[in-house]
Amino acid sequence: MAAPTWTTPPAPEADIEPARIAYVSCPLCGDAAILDLREADCTRHILYQPALPPTISWCRCHRCGHVFAEGYFNRAAEALVFAAAPPGQQPGDDVERQRALWAEVVERVTARVEDAPGRWLDVGFGNAALIFTAAEWGYRPLGIDLRPSNVAKLRSLGFEARCCDILELQERSAFQVVSLADVLEHLAFPRRALEHAATLLAPRGLLFVSTPNMDTAVWRALDEQQANPYWGELEHYHCFSRPRLYALLRECGFEPLHYAVSPRYRCGMDVIAGKS
């Protein structure tokens, strides 16, 4: 596969008004043949503000079939979206029910860990329930998130947390597990995050990824009922299928090891992959 080409980051003066920066090529494979797919209203999203674009136009890559939004938010738009955490996405929210849900994930990961539990990096930790649960198994978690209030809250609860992007971490081979739980679909260029995650993982380290799976009967039924919430997801840039996610993982240095249906979100899939 040819090396991807990426959109040039905008100059600071281009970020005065909230807007989407158009993809000039597929954000996964770099092919410039982009097909229009559909448009959706995002004004009913809980984080929507009138200054943000009211609709999302979705595209499909002619080459690899990936489905993605027409563009990603510039810094001004991101500032509006990240100004507050959505309900249920602050550390400690719904902690008892979330503990039971995440216990299944931590058990599945731990069953494939070859050594005693070590460091676990959770990217975009949200309500931090995965961090709390991993700590019960003996992992030493680090959570990173772009919302300063979430980071401050997690620190106040006695856990290590940093307000940064995964690309800012330079701790090579430092983590036994890296989790991107419902994160990839929010990243403008997920390939970059996955490639960097591979450098952060120790040899034989494990990656946990969860994201909606558009290649399911449930997704198609929601489309038929005109009730699919994902087309209007303000924060999402990508709609993955299982085959396209697996291909991306392999391109970024991982081998998928386990697939499961996520109980946390509609159409969700949970994937554990090993560093190849």
pLDDT digits (tens, 9 = 90+) for 67-112: 999 999 999 999 998 887 777 889 999 999 999 999 999 999 999 9
pLDDT at position 2 over 50? no
Instruction: Give 137-185 pLDDT, tens digit per residue.
Output: 999 999 999 999 999 999 999 999 999 999 999 999 999 999 999 999 9
pLDDT at 15: 59
Q: How far apart are CA 6 and CA 28, in angstroms?
A: 9
Instruction: Give 175-219 pLDDT, tens digit per residue.
Output: 999 999 999 999 999 999 999 999 999 999 999 999 999 999 999
- Is residue 106 within 8 Å of 133, Cβ to Cβ? yes
Q: How far apart are CA 261 and CA 129, in angstroms?
A: 18
Closest CA to 193 of 183, 206, 205, 182: 183
Burial label for 132, CB within 10 Å (0-12, 13-18, 19+), is: buried
Q: How far apart are CA 148 and CA 154, in angstroms?
A: 10
Q: How far apart are CA 167 and CA 41, in angstroms?
A: 31
- Is residue 154 within 8 Å of 131, Cβ to Cβ? yes
Q: How far apart are CA 149 and CA 41, in angstroms?
A: 29
Q: How far apart are CA 246 and CA 273, in angstroms?
A: 9
What is the pLDDT averaged over residues 6-35? 78
Please name each of the domains of the chain with its CATH number. 12-81 (no CATH), 95-275 (3.40.50.150)
pLDDT at 13: 43
